[in-house]
Structure 1
């Protein structure tokens, strides 16, 4: 499910956005700074400060994760079922080690939001389709101008 292109996009993205739904059906979308892929069908997201996301996942496992390279303005949206794994749960040492190596000492990993992916779709900024002669290089240059980089 996770192609090389999707994995590369995860590696170059700074944040992902995790969308969950609570017991009443109210959506919640929150940024997650520490995330990566695990194998070909899972995304790992560190629970650093995510009480709403964790609570929502415990009552409704359906989630959507999106990530976009801020300059290329391309990325992916993946959907799946999430489970929450605490440090006390056995069998997840490799996953914790991977997230902790990304987080370093600055971000204490309290647990893992483990997303079992069922589908993936590209996210591409409308400028690629609507503006003439837009390619990745020109999109990056335009984003740099917009952000003052």
Structure 2
């Protein structure tokens, strides 16, 4: 069930946020548009225009990735170790094919950032805690109104 929830919620998120550590020890967070859960313990992220993230991962593999479905107001945080897989490496197709398909030719995938997930934790908006009597549908309706959008059914 957790695996199915992870897959579903990963697909529903538009961006993930990759936190890396610079050579000076400064945390750097940047958005990533093309990513997917490759396995229950592996997350793949496309390096489309991420030279700083790639450099940081090569220097220090410790990363944190988070994403939230803004309408459901929930998501996940992953902590783990990352490595860079370049197109010349034999693992590139194994881990990069899904990302290339997701990009649909709109972006060139320069590298794959492969995150080995060590810890997973759920992210939930405070509304889930402060308004436990509200259904997810009610919370989503409130989010649609707040962002000024209408769901497509």
**What is the 5 A alignment of 1:16-35?**
16-35=16-35
Instruction: Give the count of matched residue pairs.
Output: 148
**What is the 5 A alignment of 1:36-47?**
36-47=36-47
| Structure 1 gap ranges (5+) | none
Give SS of 1:3's match: helix
1:49 paired with 2:66, answer no
CA–CA separation in structure 2 for the residues paired with 1:18 and 1:74: 17
The 1:138/1:115 distance shift into structure 2, 3 A limit, reads: same
CA drift of 1:89 comes to: 1.3
CA–CA separation in structure 1 for the residues paired with 2:82 and 2:5: 22
Q: TM-score, normalised by structure 1?
A: 0.95
- 1:130 corresponds in structure 2 to 130
Q: TM-score, normalised by structure 2?
A: 0.93
| Structure 2 gap ranges (5+) | none
CA drift of 1:40 comes to: 2.1
1:86 paired with 2:121, answer no
**What is the 5 A alignment of 1:109-120?**
109-120=109-120
CA–CA separation in structure 1 for the residues paired with 2:108 and 2:91: 19
Give SS of 2:91's match: coil
CA drift of 1:7 comes to: 1.5
CA drift of 1:100 comes to: 0.3
CA drift of 1:57 comes to: 0.3
CA drift of 1:132 comes to: 5.5
